[in-house]
Amino acid sequence: MLEVGWLGGSLTGSGADALIAGVFDGAAAPEGLEGEGLLPYAAAAARALAAGLVTGEAGEATVLPVLDAGGPARLVLVRLGERGAYGPAQARLAAARGARAARASGARRPVSVLHRATTPGLDGRAAATAVVVGMRRGLWRYDGYRTRPAHPAQVEALYLYEDDAARAQTLAEAMAEANAVADAVALAREIAVLGSNDKFPARVAERALAYAAQVGMEARVLDETELAEMGAGCILGVGQGSVHPPRMVVLRTGGGGEAGGPVLGLVGKGITFDSGGISLKPAAGMEEMKYDLCGAAAVLAAVGALARLGSPVPVVGILCLAENLPGGSAQRPGDVVRSLDGQTVEVVNTDAEGRLVMADGLALARRLGATHLVDVATLTGACVVALGHAYTGLMANDDSLAEAVAAAAASACERVARLPIDDPMYERAIRSDVADVRNVGGREAGAITAATFLRRFVGGLPWVHLDIAGTAWLSEERWARLAGIDTGPTGVMVETLTRLPGVLAAR
């Protein structure tokens, strides 16, 4: 298990083997290398900067040998960009890139002073949180299936250096919160990256129960018999083509809150593999459909983090788990199913399955007392077309809740872009001739009509839909490098959901 801590005083004999620091554009010296124990590194950095050896755009890292310091033999200098533009997002990227450069150089126990690079928009606590989360996010990778690691160097420990007692106390407090968040993001990414043969619905539900026991949150699993008794026909229809029947997992955490106060319902799409069903997807790239449960993974991880950190409002989490496969018993285009809240749905395309399982999940969250709803789903390719891989799509029926989610996302350095769903044409697009609603609305505005479908199942409660189809994983190296991570799952929205109860409580 990765050790994360802090060091003070001399680095000689500390075991640290790389020192990570940052330098702003135009600066003659890096940030944070003040102190007697760091003088050799400050001198080495000054020489390298004067010689023009540290170049590149923000986030670029240069590794320098420092052989006579008595401590770490590597100095990693990361470009921080313009001082006036430096904030939490830039700190996270610098930390991720610096840690990755240290690992690539062979370091196993790097120590960072990046948290000392503060600006008016980034205080010491926020900087420490950003650096810890950034380093851990940048270093994460899953080698569980490999007979030998993908990279020979395995980072065993991460340290932050601080020799000021008051700042060290702030650092320790920030690191506790940052590690809880980083643990949660890592969990979501690990669940996402597993092969679907290792994460069918019942197995993900078992893992959720084990995680709940570990972090101290309530959890209950609803199997296919209970789902049928409840009338959850949408999720049962999606999963009926698989030998692995659906599951729904109910999670709870948080205090009682004020009487009449908000109860936050978080609903996550958990399609453990999506072939498209009878409306079969093309073969190219279908292996990436193991990532179609990233919404459920984010909800599980976020509620777990809130159980560890404490939530100021009660939280109910719903994981909607199903496997969408073709077969003799599979759902057919033209079938009509009945949702948990009694609405009938004409299934026009079986590859629009995510909105079906989420319909039952949203209805269940309402039944369990949620007053505010947020759902997270890898829902539509149309959202990827609209926003690419930079922004998560946000659609809502309530401006106040939309603003709260956007504020939580901003504090988590996760970007959202709001799309409209208020025009009657979107509702008209999903009218059915034989049922209350149809599950697709045509090619135009696909992300919006999908959200419009979900809106029918929120019962008029304040609701936000987050479409993470473009941000839940990154397949291309060029996008992953910009984010400072390996290709694969990102853990997006875990931290946003973790911060959201605090935002709600403050309003």
Structure tokens at 201: 């619905």
**Interval 357-397: pLDDT, tens:** 999 999 999 999 999 999 999 999 999 999 999 999 999 99
Q: Which of 199, 355, 438, 456 is catalytic?
A: 355
pLDDT score recorded for residue 12 = 87
pLDDT at 456: 98
What is the model's pLDDT at position 8?
Answer: 86
pLDDT at 257: 60
Question: Coil, strand or helix: which one is 113?
Answer: coil
Amino acid residing at 459:
G
Q: How confident is the model at residue 1 (pLDDT cuts 50, 70, 90)?
A: low
| Residue of 37 and 306 predicted with greater confidence | 306
Closest CA to 461 of 394, 368, 398, 377: 398
DSSP 140-168: ----TT-SS-SSS----EEEEE---HHHH
Q: Is the pLDDT at 152 greater than 70, yes or no?
A: no
Task: Tell me yes or no: is domain 3-185 CATH 3.40.50.720.
Answer: no
In the chain, what percentage of residues exceed pLDDT 90? 86
281 is catalytic: yes
Comparison of pLDDT for 210 and 5, the residue scoring more: 210
From CA 83, how far away is CA 371, in angstroms rounded? 42
What is the number of helices (H) and of strands (E) in the chain?
Answer: 15, 19
CB neighbourhood size of 121 (10 A): 12
Q: Is the pLDDT of residue 2 over 70?
A: yes
Residue 258 has pLDDT above 70, yes or no: no
How does residue 217 score in pLDDT terms, banded at 50, 70 and 90? very high
Contact indicator for 275, 326 with CB cutoff of 8 Å: yes
Residues of the chain with CATH 3.40.220.10: 3-185
Helix, strand, or coil here: 14?
Answer: coil
pLDDT, tens digit (0-9, with 9 covering 90-100), for 40-55: 999 999 999 999 999 9
Query: What confidence score (pLDDT) does residue 9 get?
Result: 83
Backbone angles phi, psi at 187, to 5 degrees: -60, -45
- pTM of the complete model beyond 0.75: yes
Q: Which of 203, 281, 338, 418 is catalytic?
A: 281
- The boundaries of every CATH 3.40.630.10 domain in the chain are 194-506
Give the pLDDT of residue 256. Answer: 63
Q: Any idea which residue has 């999908």 for tokens?
A: 450
The answer to whether residues 307 and 357 touch, using CB atoms and an 8 Å cutoff, is no
- Mean residue pLDDT of the chain comes to 95
Tell me the percentage of the chain whose pLDDT exceeds 70.
Answer: 99
For range 350-363, the mean pLDDT: 98
Query: Where does 194-506 sit in CATH, by number?
Result: 3.40.630.10
pLDDT in tens, 434-486: 999 999 998 899 999 999 999 999 999 999 999 999 999 999 999 999 999 99
The gap between the terminal CA atoms of the chain, to the nearest Å, is 38
Helix (H) or strand (E) holding 346: strand 344-346
- Report the alpha-carbon distance of residue 161 to residue 168 in Å, rounded: 9
Active site residue 136: no
**In 10 A of CB 52, how many CB atoms?**
7
